[in-house]
């Protein structure tokens, strides 16, 4: 047994309930585009689940806005789920989908920088403080995604679809990096030389320039697709298509839950969804001492929850991450083949061109935030559009 196998076996015990409860069948488990056989890949499955960032309610952090709440218990579950799907996109962006967290090993600097984006303090880019205050200024459902515009390190493009329609033209327009007009220089080329691929040197050079410029020009994309798959409960005709989304390599999870409860769904087995639950109140982590942040509480090292797909509230938001333009094109092909052509009732539409009856598409720009002082938030209910909305989420 290798040292890595020993570590994985050690942590299997913490997931014993999951292993016992999973159906004794050959049904595969899908986690964010990865497929596992429970009988032969238990350790790999548990390592994958444990490696996802887990953001929960926290208490005793610095007051939001200076004089606002110092805990998000009871109202921050959707924001915490938003943090989790954003964090998954950043992990794929910097570490790759195959990266795994090991509490006994040193993590790369990119990992620590990603975590720092979500710490519970006002100057972290995706902190509960920033999400709450941006929600007040920009409209709660839109504001948290606009925080990506302030993030110069990750250069993430976030596209939130409208009216169940994903517009390819608009996404490609938004993902183009501004200010990168020049092409990378190519190596020397001898006239008449033939490349290994059989192309002339000039053709191979031109193709290499094109591929290099594509990778330089494209901003990594987090695609969010809000949907309503039924009236009071999920319509069964959508279930298979919904499960197909978790099989896609670009899957970044799903935001959803039950009435009054928000969860971050990361996969499924048979007719059950696997999710991370933010409804645990943990102590805020000390980030001021100067020492390295203790990251143990940011990974779910216990049984992940499961629920029947039919118990899911019909309002969800699908998440996908496309690191390159080729990756996005591949996702479009998968949607066409697996969701649009095979299903009688479509979950959403994928169109090439911007609909002519829609207002012109203008890529989002960094908004002007006028107020950031202590007076910005006086109490938790100011985070929502109405007292009714606060009461609905006060679980």
Catalytic residue numbers, as ranges: 77, 277, 279
Which residue has 């995604």 as its token pair? 145
Centre a 10 Å sphere on the Cβ of residue 149 and count the other Cβ atoms it contains.
Answer: 16
CA separation for the pair 64, 376 (Å, rounded): 9
- What ranges in the chain are assigned the alpha helix state H? 3-12, 16-21, 42-51, 77-94, 109-116, 128-138, 140-146, 168-175, 201-217, 239-247, 325-334, 387-393
| Per-residue burial over 31-67, b = 16 or more CB atoms within 10 Å of its CB, e = otherwise | bbbbebebeebbbebbbbbbbbbbbbbbeebbebbee
With beta carbons less than 8 A apart as the criterion, state whether 83 and 126 touch: yes
* Tokens read off for 333: 């092909």
Q: How far apart are the first and last CA of the chain?
A: 45
Which residue has 């999973």 as its token pair? 22
Q: List the beta bridge partners of residue 160.
A: 224
Q: What is the DSSP string of 299-318?
A: B--SPPEEEEGGGS-SEEEE
CA separation for the pair 377, 98 (Å, rounded): 40
With beta carbons less than 8 A apart as the criterion, state whether 70 and 61 touch: yes
Q: Report which of 224, 223, 230 is spatially closest to residue 309, judged by C-alpha positions.
A: 230
With beta carbons less than 8 A apart as the criterion, state whether 223 and 161 touch: yes
């Amino acid at each position: 047994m290798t040292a890595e196998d020993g570590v994985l076996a050690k942590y299997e015990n913490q997931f014993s309930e999951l292993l016992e409860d999973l159906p004794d069948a050959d049904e595969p488990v899908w986690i964010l585009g990865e497929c596992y056989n429970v009988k032969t890949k238990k350790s790999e499955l548990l390592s994958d689940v444990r490696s996802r960032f887990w953001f929960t309610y926290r208490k005793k952090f610095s007051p939001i806005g200076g004089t606002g709440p110092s805990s998000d218990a009871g109202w921050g579950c959707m924001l915490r789920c938003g943090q989790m799907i954003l964090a998954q996109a950043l992990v794929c962006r910097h570490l790759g989908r195959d990266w795994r967290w090991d509490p006994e090993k040193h993590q790369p600097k990119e990992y620590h920088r990603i975590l720092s984006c979500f710490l519970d303090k006002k100057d972290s880019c995706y902190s509960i403080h920033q999400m709450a205050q941006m929600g007040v200024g920009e409209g709660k459902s839109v504001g948290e995604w606009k925080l990506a515009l302030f993030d110069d390190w990750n250069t993430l493009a976030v596209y939130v679809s409208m009216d169940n329609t994903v517009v390819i033209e608009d996404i490609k327009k938004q993902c183009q990096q501004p200010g990168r007009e020049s092409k990378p220089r190519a190596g020397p080329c001898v006239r008449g030389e033939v490349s290994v691929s059989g192309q002339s040197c000039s053709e191979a050079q031109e193709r290499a320039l094109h591929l290099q410029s594509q990778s330089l020009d494209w901003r990594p994309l987090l695609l969010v697709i809000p949907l309503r798959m039924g009236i009071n409960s999920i319509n069964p005709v959508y279930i298979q298509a919904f499960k197909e989304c978790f099989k896609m390599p670009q899957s970044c999870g799903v935001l959803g839950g039950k009435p009054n409860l928000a969860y971050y769904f990361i996969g499924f087995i048979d007719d059950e969804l696997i999710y991370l639950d933010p409804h645990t109140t943990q102590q805020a982590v000390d980030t001021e001492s100067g020492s390295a942040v203790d990251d143990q509480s940011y990974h779910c090292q216990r049984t992940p929850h499961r629920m029947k797909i039919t118990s899911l509230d019909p309002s969800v938001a699908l998440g996908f991450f496309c690191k390159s333009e080729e990756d996005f094109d591949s996702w479009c092909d998968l949607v066409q083949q697996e969701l649009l052509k095979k299903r009688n009732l479509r979950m959403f539409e994928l169109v090439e061109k911007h609909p002519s009856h829609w207002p012109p598409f203008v890529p989002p720009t960094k908004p002007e935030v006028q107020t950031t002082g202590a007076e910005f938030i006086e109490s938790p209910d100011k985070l929502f559009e109405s007292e009714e909305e606060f009461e609905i989420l006060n679980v």
